[in-house]
Amino acid sequence: MRLVGLLRRAATFWQRSIQARVVMSTLLLSAVVVTLVGLVLLRQITDGLVAGKTNSSVAEATRGAYEAQSRLGSVPGTEFDSAGQLAQLVAGIVARGDVRGYDVVLDGPVAGTGEPATVGSGGTFKSPDVVAASIPDRLRDVVESTAGTSWTYTTISYESESDRQQSPGIVAGSQVEVPSDGGTYTLYYLFPMTEEAETLVLVRQAMLTWGALLLVLVAGLAWLVTRQVVTPVRLARRVAERLASGRLEERMQVRGQDDIARLATSFNQMAAGLQKQIRQLEELSRVQRRFVSDVSHELRTPLTTVRMAGDVLYDARDRFDPVTGRSAELLQKELDRFELLLTDLLEISRFDAGAAVLDLEDVNLADLAHRVADSTRPLAEQRGVRVVVHDPPEPCMVEVDARRVERIVRNLVSNAIDHAEGHDIDVRVAAGEGVVALAVRDHGVGLHEGEAQMVFNRFWRADPARARTTGGTGLGLAIAREDAHLHGGWLQAWGEPGRGALFRLTLPRRAGDAVTSSPVPLVPTDARRRGPRRPAPTRRQWMGTP
């Protein structure tokens, strides 16, 4: 688990730090380049050392064979001691090889050219410690059958009693003739490549050391360069976060006249412009809230007087002529709407002023849902729909302001009735761990993309072309969301054209607790099954005409 945590923190650091990504990317690319260049250089050095050793070895073997043949040819052929002459010849070559760092092997005679010499074992003369089997058989066949010098690569082995180690090397062979017995011998020179191998080891170590130092240098340079670019970006991020938190006076420090300084200047100009506009919007919002509050309170007194006169006219409507009686009824209806609008405006002004408070009590949310369904039944029957409440068997107790929560539910149910289009409305109540939820689901026109958040805006209407009689003031859902936030809860919406809409209220069981989840899904299960959409209703269907 600790390893998993470390990996997660490393992944988070990698995702958030552009400096780390740039440095690591530069380091990896540099490592690839350094490795490729090192391999190429090492290959060229190896080829150069091997080629130089090969050329010098072949030249040395050719010269040695020529000198040996000259010495043998200068001796008279009468009374010639073949074994002694060969022994002296090999002794001289071996002595010179000890000085120059190579070994000698003399084999022979070649089959059919003479009798074997009596010195040595089986007609073989060689340097001490070296193993004659170090000469590959394929080279022996070539040298015995071809004039001139032939060579190949091999591994030179030594006697077990010797302190010399097995090593790679070059073996070159030539034919020499002994005039006394008419025999042809093969003379081999074995050149160990110990020094070249040691040189390659030193070169490889030097490349690794300097390559690692070069990568460290590149990483340091990349870190310094990216730091010069990333540091102003980080400062800009911190200033932007402070601006977002409301500290509008924050500015970036401008140093120099380079691109970063110009960026800081532009950022400061943008921040100053935003500050000015935000101040203007705040002032405008304050004036607007003050205007709404003042107008709402100023209208309350004349509305009371008009209401009293309207009530008198409405009560006496039966004594008027039909036209005057109908006018009294319309006046009463519009006064009701105007009073509702004024009440909503006053409530909004209290939210804006921060004067809204809660009168908490323990309430069964299921009982509250049934009470709202009963109170809205006449309106639902008028629209030809039913409000069906689905509640759990156990009580859903919650500590809330009953008046405000009942107003939220009534607004949601009334809104669903307005848009149900003859389909039943489902009200579902559920309880979870520390939370309760209530969802109102209709199967009407639904919401278009992006409207799920806009429905809670003040005075926003989904369809401005619809008759104003089929809706309230446009403040009901805005007030409902303010009431939900006042309780520390959620009020969310979902909808699709032709599939209806769902509004979900989630509240903590105890006031002040945090809400992290809801027991009711926001997207209804029937909407997840992507069936065919119902056709959007026409205006005739909205108006109820055939």
| Residue 535: predicted pLDDT | 46
140 in Cβ contact with 186 (< 8 Å): yes
The gap from C-alpha 4 to its chain's centroid, in whole angstroms, comes to: 17
Looking only at the bridges linking them, the beta strands covering 360-364 and 167-178 are unpaired
Give the residue with greater pLDDT, 538 vs 332: 332
| Residue 84: predicted pLDDT | 65
Residue with tokens 């002004």: 349
Q: Is the peptide bond between 508 and the residue preceding it cis, with omega within 30 degrees of 0? A: no
| Residue 83: predicted pLDDT | 60
**pLDDT at 543 exceeding the cut of 60:** no
**pLDDT at 213 exceeding the cut of 90:** yes
The domain at 357-543 falls in which architecture? 2-Layer Sandwich (3.30)
Round to whole Å and give the CA distance between 313 and 370: 36
Residues 141-157 have pLDDT tens digits of 898 888 889 999 999 99
Mean pLDDT in residue range 321-338: 84
Mean pLDDT in residue range 473-487: 83
In terms of phi and psi (left: phi > 0; alpha: psi -120 to 50; beta: otherwise), the region of 538 is beta
DSSP 72-138: HHTS-STT--HHHHHHHHHHHHHHHHHHHT-EEEEE-PPTTS-PPPSSSBTTEEE-TTB-GGGS-HH
| Residue 528: predicted pLDDT | 58
104 in Cβ contact with 176 (< 8 Å): no
| Residue 32: predicted pLDDT | 92
Residue with tokens 């070296």: 130
Average pLDDT over all residues of the chain: 81
476 exposed, middle or buried (CB, 10 Å; 0-12, 13-18, 19+)? buried
Q: Is 361 helix (H, G, I), strand (E, B) or coil?
A: strand
Q: What fold is seen in the domain 76-195?
A: Beta-Lactamase (3.30.450)
The one-character DSSP state at 469 is: T
| Residue 546: predicted pLDDT | 27
Confidence of residue 113 (pLDDT cuts 50, 70, 90): low
Round to whole Å and give the CA distance between 122 and 436: 106
**pLDDT at 448 exceeding the cut of 90:** no
| b/e 128-137 (16+ beta carbons within 10 angstroms → b) | eebbbebbee
| Residue 151: predicted pLDDT | 92
Looking only at the bridges linking them, the beta strands covering 150-156 and 167-178 are antiparallel
Mean pLDDT in residue range 225-254: 82
DSSP 156-186: E-B-TTSSPPPEEEEEEEEEEEETTTTEEEE
**pLDDT at 75 exceeding the cut of 80:** no
Residues 434-444 have pLDDT tens digits of 899 999 999 88
Round to whole Å and give the CA distance between 333 and 256: 71
543 in Cβ contact with 423 (< 8 Å): no
Mean pLDDT in residue range 77-91: 62
Q: What fold is seen in the domain 259-352?
A: Helix Hairpins (1.10.287)
Round to whole Å and give the CA distance between 215 and 210: 9
**Is the Cα torsion angle 290, 291, 293, 297 positive or negative in sign?**
positive
Q: How many CA atoms lie within 13 A of 388 on its CB side?
A: 11
User: What phi and psi, each to the nearest 5 degrees, are found at residue 361?
Assistant: -160, 160
Domain boundaries defined on the chain: 76-195, 259-352, 357-543
Cβ neighbours of residue 164 under 8 Å, at least 6 residues apart?
A: 129, 158
Confidence of residue 537 (pLDDT cuts 50, 70, 90): very low
Helix-helix angle 194-244:259-315, to 10 degrees? 30
Q: Edge-to-edge strand order for the sheet containing 183-192?
A: 124-126, 103-107, 183-192, 167-178, 150-156
DSSP 169-233: EEEEEEEEEETTTTEEEEEEEEEE-HHHHHHHHHHHHHHHHHHHHHHHHHHHHHHHHHHHHHHHH
| Residue 161: predicted pLDDT | 77
Confidence of residue 503 (pLDDT cuts 50, 70, 90): very high
Q: Is 360 helix (H, G, I), strand (E, B) or coil?
A: strand
